[in-house]
């Protein structure tokens, strides 16, 4: 458990909780604590789904600009890699990951949300990549993950302008998956995560990896990734349980094995 980021586990759901007042600014320490929490969530067998949550007031308002302002080119050469990989550690969690977004998800906060599989957004939240207003560009995946999610033209407009998007627009373009009142964000994310707790762990893992890795390659290679993952699941107990239950018209009781 870090000073500002902790993993809380209850009933199969792991919550990566950001808690750095006032705005959950992602300084170097927070970045490394996010990485540690993501790795722990990946490794723990009692965690079947993950929520990333910044609290009732704010998800994460971005990187710690006070920390960055005095950094030189060589300083950022050294820091940019760990910055990216700390967010990528969330994207590589081999389980469903849901961002529960309240308040602001801007800059690095938006990039953290983009690393999740799904985004539950408060109806009064603001999202965006305002780095252009600082004379820089997103550096933790924003130019890549946002583009893959909403398309190149929309991504360029959002990044070039640096503007904030409200929840309604985020939902319309696919940046948000569900919009609810702010008070309901975390519980809605938990309800979503519960769908996966009793599911076939390795099938869900294989599906996520096939989709994510497939986006990185050509169609033929993606189909081969899918084929190998599909065939590999015939070595799991859950495949046998699921198919037997189907034949017997029963509800499968998966073991996560």
Measured distance CA(111)–CA(22) in Å, rounded: 19
User: In this model, does residue 63 exceed pLDDT 90?
Assistant: no
pLDDT at 123: 97
Query: Which active-site residues does the annotation give?
Result: 111, 131
Confidence of residue 107 (pLDDT cuts 50, 70, 90): very high
User: In this model, does residue 114 exceed pLDDT 90?
Assistant: yes
What domains are there in the chain, each with its CATH number? 5-197 (3.90.226.10), 201-247 (1.10.12.10)
User: In this model, does residue 66 exceed pLDDT 90?
Assistant: no
Reported as a single tens digit per residue, the pLDDT across 130-182 is 999 999 999 999 999 999 999 999 999 999 999 999 999 999 999 999 999 99
The pLDDT of 236-240, averaged and rounded, is 95
User: In this model, does residue 222 exceed pLDDT 90?
Assistant: yes
Query: What is the rounded radius of gyration, in angstroms, for the C-alpha atoms of the chain?
Result: 19
The pLDDT of 68-84, averaged and rounded, is 91
**52 three-state secondary structure:** strand
Reported as a single tens digit per residue, the pLDDT across 148-162 is 999 999 999 999 999
- In this structure, of 70-79, 108-117, 175-184, the range with the lowest mean pLDDT score is 70-79
Q: Write down the mean pLDDT value for the chain.
A: 96
Beta-bridge partners for 157: none
Residue % of the chain over a pLDDT of 90: 94
Task: Provide DSSP, 97-125.
Answer: EEEEE-SEEETHHHHHHHTSSEEEEETT-
Reported as a single tens digit per residue, the pLDDT across 15-45 is 999 999 999 999 999 999 999 999 999 999 9
């Amino acid at each position: 458990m870090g000073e500002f980021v902790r993993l809380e586990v209850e009933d199969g759901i792991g919550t990566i909780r950001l808690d750095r007042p006032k705005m959950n600014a992602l300084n170097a320490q927070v970045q490394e604590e996010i990485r540690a929490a993501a790795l722990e969530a990946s490794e723990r067998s009692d965690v079947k789904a993950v929520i990333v949550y910044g609290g009732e007031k704010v998800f994460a308002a971005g990187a710690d600009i006070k920390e960055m302002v005095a950094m030189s080119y060589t300083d950022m050469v050294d820091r940019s890699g760990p910055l990216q990989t700390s967010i990528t550690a969330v994207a590589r969690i081999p389980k469903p990951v849901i961002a529960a977004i309240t308040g602001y998800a801007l800059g690095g906060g938006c990039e953290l949300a983009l690393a999740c599989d799904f985004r539950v957004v408060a109806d009064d939240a603001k999202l965006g990549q305002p780095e252009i207003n600082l004379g820089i560009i997103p550096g933790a995946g924003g130019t890549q993950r946002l583009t893959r999610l909403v398309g190149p033209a929309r991504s360029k407009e959002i990044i070039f302008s640096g503007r904030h998007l409200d929840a309604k627009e985020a939902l319309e373009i696919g940046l948000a998956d569900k919009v609810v009142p702010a008070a309901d964000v975390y519980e809605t994310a938990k309800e979503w995560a519960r769908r996966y707790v009793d599911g076939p762990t390795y099938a869900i893992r294989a599906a996520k990896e096939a989709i994510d890795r497939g986006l990185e390659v050509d169609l033929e290679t993606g189909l081969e990734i899918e084929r190998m993952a599909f065939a590999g699941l015939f070595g799991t107990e859950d495949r046998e349980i699921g198919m037997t239950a189907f034949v017997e018209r029963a509800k499968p009781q998966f073991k996560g094995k």
